[in-house]
Amino acid sequence: MVDTTPLTRAVDHFADRLRAAPQSRLQRGAAAEALALARELARRAQLREFPGAEPRQMPDAGMFAAADQITVAGHDLAVVLAGDGDAGEVEEAVRLVGEAQRRAGV
């Protein structure tokens, strides 16, 4: 288990906001934005963990799963970066989370 990091705090905050958002907000793009972020975070984790392997794409599990998907992907990336990442990679991931949350409007 990874201690709380700037990345885990950012994805947990975004996920909490998604869980509190009305269904209409999720349908208007917040869930799609979260899925795109989850896919990118998962891709980054896989590239670090399995260099040379083609990353698998996170499936679309539906708008009500989007919060869980960014939580899982963000925490996975935090674990990978805690082992051998650098501060710049963590900062970039936190920036991606913030931008996605702004675009999602939550």
pLDDT tens track for 7-40: 999 999 999 999 999 999 999 999 999 999 999 9
Number of domains in the chain: 1
Write phi, then psi, for 100 (nearest 5 degrees).
-65, -40
**What's the whole-number mean pLDDT along residues 66-73?**
98
Are the C-beta atoms of residues 34 and 18 closer than 8 Å to each other? yes
Q: Domain limits at 69?
A: 6-104
In a domain, 87, yes or no: yes
- Examine residue 79 and state whether it is found in any structural domain, yes or no: yes
In a domain, 1, yes or no: no
* More confident call, 83 vs 28: 28
Task: Using the predicted structure, report yes or no on whether residue 87 has a pLDDT greater than 90.
Answer: no
pTM of the model: 0.93
pLDDT interval class at 2 (50, 70, 90): low
